């Protein structure tokens, strides 16, 4: 099976935020090899403002899963860690998004890769740029999207 490189963003703003990030990473290690982890950044909420600040980070993984399989496993991890979707952009124990998956482009109702708003979100871009090799195509993609 082919090993696929992907970048995932992780965020939490329900206490204990750091523990939820650690638990998510522990679970992700069961489905993928983590190659690199960014530092953890504290950021203000986007969208729904009446909530606590987030801890955010990005990880680079390698997995043999297909994009939809990875998405389903990530959704399961979120549910197991108590993620509830009551308010759009509301508080959450953990949020895990697939930012990129190789050069794959997916535009389905439940899954969009590359993540359609990552170029607008500093809380994603700052930790992501920390992990990127200047030769990687994703950096060109982000630069192109940021100029629009």
Which residues are identified as catalytic?
Answer: 83, 92, 95, 97
DSSP 23-48: HHHHHHTTTSEEEEEPPPEEE--SS-
Q: How far apart are CA 100 and CA 73, in angstroms?
A: 16
Q: Residue 60 burial by CB count (10 A; 0-12/13-18/19+): exposed, middle or buried?
A: buried
Place of tokens 């993984």: 61
């Amino acid at each position: 099976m082919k090993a696929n490189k992907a970048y995932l963003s992780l965020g939490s703003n329900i206490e204990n935020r750091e523990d939820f990030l650690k638990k998510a990473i522990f679970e992700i290690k069961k489905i993928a090899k983590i190659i690199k982890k960014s530092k953890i950044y504290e950021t203000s909420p986007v969208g729904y403002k009446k909530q606590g600040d987030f801890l955010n980070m990005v990880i680079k993984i390698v997995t043999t899963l297909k994009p939809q399989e990875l998405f389903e496993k990530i959704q399961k991890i979120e549910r197991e860690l108590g993620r509830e979707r009551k308010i759009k952009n509301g508080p959450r124990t953990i949020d895990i998004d697939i930012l990129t998956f190789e050069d794959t482009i997916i535009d389905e109702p439940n899954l969009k890769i590359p993540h359609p708003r990552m170029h607008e979100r500093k809380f994603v871009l700052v930790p992501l740029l920390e992990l990127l090799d200047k030769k990687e195509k994703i950096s060109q993609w982000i630069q192109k999207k940021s100029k629009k």
